Chains A and B, each alone.
Chain A
């Protein structure tokens, strides 16, 4: 395939998402703040999924049976998740987070072509990754709001919302599907799994970046 080597605009603007070299042959993809956000969310997601399934699936509810304890774990994990993310935003690299969100929200012509199967050059995030982030953030907010009303409605029926259970359950199924796809591409699929290095150690191979994220990767010298 012949992708036109496009000049990375970020590479010359001094942006935080700029593909600067970290060592020979490697460029930085994620700042520390971005990586901490990712892993905080991931850890909370798995803890909430596990405790949530115990509350949700009858067979697990019966097997574990300590419903009150599991409920408290679920609720306090959610609180810790929210507090941690706010704290990271306050003390972390806000500029990097804002920059990442700006990139995620921007679906340019190449992204739209990529989404319908064309081989269009991609930026630091490809269009699929952008959709993944948009869905994940929206799901997280909706999980939090619907969960809050489930908690509140159990204390005062005046705040009980008809659809809170339905929304919370539907989000669980939707995020599980998203997670399966995400894990497949990040851990199993041979050509994409190098991305895992980017979210753990921060940098990725320059040639890999050039192949998958040509609009962001530094031009070949």
Chain B
């Protein structure tokens, strides 16, 4: 065998493996996630969350001055303090969080309020079919249809994994919709509006799907 072919073959082989990884890397990662023990996985610093923001700062909202404004097509627009939200029926759930870029966090423990319990306080008017969640992070917002927002495990969370929601995760209040990719799970929610129809949010303006179902949107297929 030509001596030069050995190095060339190794080089091209590496490129081939890397190129295949662009398409199948996720499957390999999922497989490793199943067979490698949790303790060993914890060595990788980002085996859990990654903190994404679109701007240059992480919103810092003092809980005491926090207000959630709920308005739009409702009979009684209202501003909620954190204490008001805590006085609504508290629910807990354990669900998996999926990011569209390819990472997931399993078994996240959330506590907060269901959308229906919040809406009962403001009485949506007939004709309202969607909700827009606006973040304290400038320019970030996203919409859900009412049907999506009223799914069984959608909530506005104020606690995560047994403690108050932390600043990087959207304190004091974030949307949690496990069926959809992370970009629909708006962090630092300060305003909710009832709308006649859903409006394109920040990432939809970048070509992302409005209905961001995990595993069957944004080019993913089951």
| A, B co-complexed | yes
The answer to whether A134 touches B21, judged by C-beta atoms less than 8 angstroms apart, is no
B15/A68 in contact, CB under 8 A:
no
Please name all residues of chain B whose beta carbon is closer than 8 Å to the beta carbon of A65 when the two chains form the complex: 53, 56-58
From the candidates B3, B28, B209, name the one contacting A108 in the complex (CB within 8 A): B3
Question: Considering the complex, which residues of chain A in the window 80-100 have a beta carbon less than 8 Å from any beta carbon of chain B?
Answer: none
Which residues on the B side are within 8 Å of A145 (C-beta)?
18-19, 22
The 8 Å CB contact of A167, one of B6, B21, B51, is B21
A142 at the interface (CB under 8 A from B): yes
How many interface residues does B have (CB within 8 Å)?
46
Q: Please judge, given known A-B contacts A142-B15, A162-B25, whether A104 and B7 are in contact too, CB under 8 Å.
A: yes
Question: Closest Cβ of chain B: how far from A98's Cβ, in Å?
Answer: 13
Measured between C-beta atoms, what is the minimum distance from B164 to chain A in Å?
Answer: 16
Measured between beta carbons, the chain B residues less than 8 angstroms from A150 are 101
Chain A residues closer than 8 Å to B48, beta-carbon distance: 58
Q: Which residue of B lies closest to A156 (CB)?
A: B207
Tell whether A38 is near chain B: CB-to-CB under 8 Å.
Answer: no
| Chain A residue nearest to B26 in the complex (CB) | A162
Interface of chain A, main secondary structure? helix
Question: CB distance B168 to A58 under 8 Å?
Answer: yes
Complexed CA–CA distance, A95 and B206 (Å): 44
B101 touches A62 (CB 8 A): no
Would you give the shortest CB distance from A122 to chain B, in whole angstroms?
A: 14
For A163, give the chain B residue with the smallest CB separation: B25
Task: Report Cα–Cα, A67/B137, bound state, in Å.
Answer: 12
With a CB–CB cut-off of 8 A, which chain B residues contact A104?
7
A187 in the interface (beta carbon within 8 A): no
Are A166 and B21 in touch, CB under 8 angstroms? yes
Cα of A57 to Cα of B45 in the assembled complex, Å = 7
Contact of A164 among B102, B168, B220 (CB under 8 A): B102
A138-B14, A162-B26 known; A62+B7 contact, CB < 8 A: no
Which residues of chain B come closer than 8 Å to A41, judged between CB atoms? none
Interface status of B89 (Cβ within 8 A of chain A): no
Specify which of B7, B15, B53 is in contact with A106 (CB 8 Å cutoff): B7
| A149 and B22 within 8 A (CB) | yes
Contact with B along A133-164 (1 / 0, CB 8 A): 01101110110011001100111111011111
Given contacts A68-B55, A106-B7, A108-B3, 8 further A-B contacts (CB under 8 A): A65-B58, A67-B54, A106-B6, A142-B14, A145-B18, A145-B19, A158-B219, A163-B102
The 10 closest A-B pairs by CB, nearest first: A163-B25, A166-B25, A105-B7, A142-B18, A138-B14, A162-B26, A165-B102, A156-B207, A167-B21, A61-B51
